Amino acid sequence: MPDRNTMIDGCARALGEAKVLVVSTGAGISKESGIPTFRDAPNALWANYDPEQLATETGFRRDPALVWRWYADRRQMISAAKPNAGHTAIADLERLIECVVVITQNIDDLHRKAGSSDLIEVHGNIFRFKCFDNHHPVQSLPRDDDVPPRCHCGSHIRPDVVWFGEMLPEDEIDRAYAALQRCEVVLVVGTSGTVHPAAGFAAVAKDAGARVIEVNPEHTPITGHADFFLQGPAGEVLPQLVRSLRSHRKPGTHS
Ligand code: BJW
């Protein structure tokens, strides 16, 4: 197994030849911003909760106040978080590669804050809201309270995120698959690769001919299909990758 520097060099060469890059991210990219992941014990977001109670329509119907409070707490924590070196490195790639599309499962807005301009949020956004029954968009919250406010139609308001058993937003998923079909490299960062359909994004790109680079401190179900596995935290590995790509880029290519 080559060492990480040799691997990074190989990845930088692959990226150096790419005109279209997809970066597919999960909760791990935001861990170094202080936002816990979902499934890494002991600080995982769901360590003290049953996800089925919180991130499903059934859970919200059963106890809307509990789910509302869970999201309100997370919203507060996420509001205070800043993009880390991993988010910044991904945004920097736009200056080195012609087309960079970021597909994120995260709902935390940190890629946007870091400056990524072509962003597809496939699981929604915690700072947007809609009503539960009719999906009426809600522009601003009447108040951030202990119980979910009501829409003009009488339905409870909920965060505009994608829960288990719900379809992903059609526009976003169409754009995501289109980008995955045409990219030459897909860089998969900080996802456990267990939640579908996002868990299959790398395979879609690979089947269409792309090379797969994975960045994660742990092995995942994606690792076996990756052409390069860069083991380590995103905030450390991605800046190294960007530095290596800069040194490979010839003057006169995309700047
Ligand atoms: C680091 C790091 C560092 C740590 N640097 N890395 C096919 C087969 C089986 C089941 C299904 C299937 N298709 C659909 C399903 C059902 C279901 C599903 O996938 N279930 C599985 C659990 C089996 N999927 C759905 O229901 C989806 N809908 C759908 O497919 O619609 C069609 C349909 C409808 C009805 C029936 C059938 C089909 C919707 C999924 C919605 C997921 N929603 C959530 C909540 C979002 C809102 C919120 O945030 O509250 O999305 S669940 C949660 O998991 C969240 C995340 O986006 C998602 C993925 O988690 P992620 O990002 O991978 O995080 P972790 O914690 O799991 O992993 C973190 C990783 O980071 C780890 O690997 C660490 O090692 C790493 N890491 N530090 C880099 N510093």
> What CATH number should be reported for the domain holding residue 141?
3.40.50.1220
Instruction: Give the global pTM.
Output: 0.95
Where does the pLDDT of residue 172 fall: very low under 50, low under 70, confident under 90, or very high at 90 and above? very high
Residue 253 lies in a domain: no
State pLDDT tens for residues 114-153. Answer: 999 999 999 999 999 999 999 999 987 766 678 899 999 9
What pLDDT does 129 receive? 95
> Which residue lies with its CA nearest to atom 21 of ligand 1?
195
Residue 57 lies in a domain: yes
Give me the active site residues, please. Answer: 123
Q: Which of 132, 151, 133, 155 is nearest to 141 (CA)?
A: 151
> Which residue lies with its CA nearest to atom 34 of ligand 1?
165
Number of domains in the chain: 1
Task: Judge residue 1's burial from the number of C-beta atoms within 10 Å of its C-beta, 0-12 exposed, 13-18 middle, 19 or more buried.
Answer: exposed
Assess whether pLDDT exceeds 90 at residue 201. Answer: yes
Residue 180 lies in a domain: yes
Where does the pLDDT of residue 254 fall: very low under 50, low under 70, confident under 90, or very high at 90 and above? low
Residue 255 lies in a domain: no
* DSSP H or E stretch at residue 230: strand 228-231
Find out whether the beta carbon of 37 lies less than 6 Å from any atom of ligand 1: yes
Assess whether pLDDT exceeds 80 at residue 40. Answer: no
What pLDDT does 255 receive? 52
Residue 118 lies in a domain: yes
Residue 254 lies in a domain: no
* Closest atom of ligand 1 relative to the 192 alpha carbon: 73
Average pLDDT over residues 30-39: 93
* Closest atom of ligand 1 relative to the 234 alpha carbon: 5
CA 196 – ligand 1 centroid, Å: 6
